[in-house]
Chain A
Amino acid sequence: MHGQGVSKGLCYAKVHVLEDKPIQFPTEYASAQAEEKKFRDALADVLSETEEMKERALCTVGKEAAEILDAHCSLLKDEGMLDPISESIQDGTNAAQSVENAMNTFIEMFEGMENEYMAQRALDLKDIKDRLIRRILHIKKDDLSNLSEMMILAGEDIAPSITAGMDTEHLAGMLMELGGVTSHTAILARTLDVPAVVGASGLMNEIKTGDMIAFDGETGEIMINPTSEEVKQFQESMKKQKEEKEKLKLFSMRRAETKDHQQLNVCGNIGGTDDLKKVMEYGADGVGLFRSEFLFLVSASLPTEEQQLAAYKTVLEEIKDKPVIVRTLDIGGDKEVKALGLKKEENPFLGLRAIRLCQAKPEVFHTQLRALLRASVYGNLQIMFPMISSLQELRWAKEQLEYCKKQLEEEQIPYKQNIKVGIMIEIPATAVMARQFAAECDFFSIGTNDLTQYTLAVDRGNDDVAGLYSYFHPAVLRMIEMAIEGAHAQGIPCGMCGEAAGNAYMLPILIGLGLDEYSMTASSILELKQAASRIDTAECKELAARVMRLGTWDEVRTELEKFVAERN
């Protein structure tokens, strides 16, 4: 069987299949009394569980989620709902079937009301019904928070709500019938550095929990219950790969440096507190990009100052004195944040996103800035503004920061002095005017993904034109060169936090151009350190000068591949 490999690595383990099978209802009926007791016991369990969840939600995800759970509690105490169930039990239907029948009547009624509020209640009822029946029949819900051995997780789709509470220590790999490279699962797998294959059609018909599965997260090949001969072969490949990995692991102990012992700053990109572990394990020099969006995407309401503070503080304290660059909210019409009430835009990448959105909603921006300032006392925090296209925007953002500082002073809340403030270079306009921008901020970080898309006017998510997208394009390289030159002319450092920063072929050019910091996903850190150890700064400079004059990205790429291959 075959799928699309989206996260590298070989994997052989037992599989846990996430099932969404219809419940098998028993027909046995003990006695009215016994069935009623089953129902009441289940009800009490589910109610106390829901009350606990509600308390937890109040502290973690917020009021809105807690209100939904509160409604669940009311429903679980509602005689209008419970009485018909008891009546049905008295009439000789067993507990599980009675819950199913009685609640379906309400669910159908609510679904038929064509009213947003009622549709939501129907969903609530379905959820409660499902939990009650599972409790009565002792069907365990997939609990992945505490796995006893290494497991492959497989499903038609693996929802974020399932992976959220998962025991990632015991996660060997992930397999999914649906999805593509950019699916939630693919991104999560790469972040956690576990092998994954998605888009494996027919998968769910072929496997069941407990099967042994071997798969390759690079080629996408999947073997279900392989023969002992196949296992032997596979394990040999795994051993080889492990040795390679071990070799790479040695690099986690030391800082990145070139063959001629020039040290490089290699940092990690993180999207939350989870991926920080890997970044530290691989010996990064800091966090070059902390995407703060996750705080806004996970919950139904906007994160409060306290919630944000807690997240930033966790990262700063974990990583000790190493620098952490937090990028302020980078969100726009392409992502749905209910609490922000954003309009769908015709052209979201050219629309109201990131700093522009913050300008439209200054109160959201202020909350984040206050949380950042307050967090600054816990470590080496730096603040970075995204999507800056004009000096006015940079000046405005800095003014807001000053305003928030003043507020905190008045409230006598401490923050660190001299917090470094930088900008993303991801719009050609900003790269072209790099010198002027560098005079008014403390650092640059080049975001190559957007810089490439804006420089070449290519939407890389669009398959029809994705072939035109490449950060090896000489025009993109020149943008990068301008940004670095502009920064150095004003004596500030210039880093990079796009995908290109972790690309081993791109590395010699970037070293040649004098980039100051390389920030990437955790999974690229070790390979980049290894790649750096094989090349020489003087040779890189020479190469960069030569490559910048080439005409097409094909030519650039060929030249770089030759350079790297000669040194491996």
Chain B
Amino acid sequence: MVREKVTVKAKSGLHARPANLLIKTAQKYKCKVEIEVDNKIFNAKSLIGILAAGIDCGTEVSVICTGDDEEAASKEVVELITGDMGEE
């Protein structure tokens, strides 16, 4: 399991398009990809899960990857979340 703490940079948080981007990225990997916020864990491969998490810009989250390709998955997801995710 790889676990990394990051801060969400996308201006509109993990809603709408960024959320979609995140799950599309997570879905590329075989391993389990989860996001932890306030001690709650959400499935990062589920749009509904991510939307339900209601993560705003500036929120601190943990990216947790568990499985075969966890290293690569963690790297790409963390990079994505700490970037602007296509938002201005």
Residues of A within 8 A of B (CB): 74-75, 78-81, 106, 109-110, 113, 115, 117-118, 121
Contacts and interface: CB of A to CB of B under 8 A. Distances in A.
A49 B49 CA distance: 24
16 contacts: A74-B20, A74-B47, A75-B47, A75-B48, A78-B46, A78-B48, A79-B43, A80-B46, A80-B49, A80-B50, A80-B52, A81-B46, A110-B51, A110-B52, A113-B54, A121-B51
B48 A80 contact: yes
A80 B47 contact: yes
Contacts of A110: 51-52
The 6 A-B pairs at the shortest CB distance, nearest first, are namely A80-B46, A80-B49, A80-B48, A81-B48, A117-B16, A78-B46
A118 to B, nearest CB: 7
Nearest to B45: A79
Interface string B48-70: 11111010000000000000000
B15 interface: yes
Nearest to A113: B54
Given A74-B47, A78-B46, A81-B46, A109 B15 contact: no
A64 to B, nearest CB: 15
Contacts of B45: 79-80
B19 to A, nearest CB: 10
Contacts of A118: 15, 51
Interface in B1-45: 15-16, 20, 42-43, 45
B46 A106 contact: no
A516 B43 CA distance: 71
Nearest to B54: A113
> Which of B20, B48, B54 has the largest number of chain A CB atoms within 10 A?
B48
A80 B23 CA distance: 11
A126 to B, nearest CB: 14
A115 B48 contact: no
Nearest to A115: B15
Contacts of B20: 74
Nearest to B15: A117
Contacts of B48: 75, 78, 80-81, 106
A80 B16 contact: no
Nearest to B49: A80
B67 to A, nearest CB: 15
B54 A78 contact: no
Contacts of A113: 54
A79 B51 contact: no
B39 to A, nearest CB: 18
Given A80-B42, A80-B43, A80-B46, 7 more contacts: A78-B48, A80-B47, A80-B48, A110-B51, A113-B54, A117-B15, A118-B51
A146 to B, nearest CB: 35
B20 to A, nearest CB: 8
Contacts of A106: 48, 52
A109 B50 CA distance: 12
A79 B15 contact: no
A78 B52 contact: no
Contacts of B52: 80, 106, 109-110
B54 A79 contact: no
Contacts of B49: 78, 80
Contact of A78 (B15, B16, B47): B47
Contacts of A81: 46, 48
Contacts of B42: 80
Contacts of B47: 74-75, 78, 80
Contacts of A74: 20, 47
A476 B45 CA distance: 67
A106 B87 CA distance: 26
B23 to A, nearest CB: 8
> Which of B45, B50, B52 has the largest number of chain A CB atoms within 10 A?
B52
Contacts of B43: 79-80
A79 B16 contact: no
A557 B45 CA distance: 73
A64 B20 CA distance: 17
Contacts of A80: 42-43, 45-50, 52
Nearest to B42: A80
A109 B52 CA distance: 7
B26 to A, nearest CB: 11
A115 B20 CA distance: 17
A109 B54 CA distance: 10
Contacts of A117: 15-16
A76 to B, nearest CB: 11
A74 B22 CA distance: 13
A115 B15 CA distance: 10
A109 B51 CA distance: 10
Contacts of B54: 113
B18 to A, nearest CB: 11
B27 to A, nearest CB: 10
A270 B16 CA distance: 41
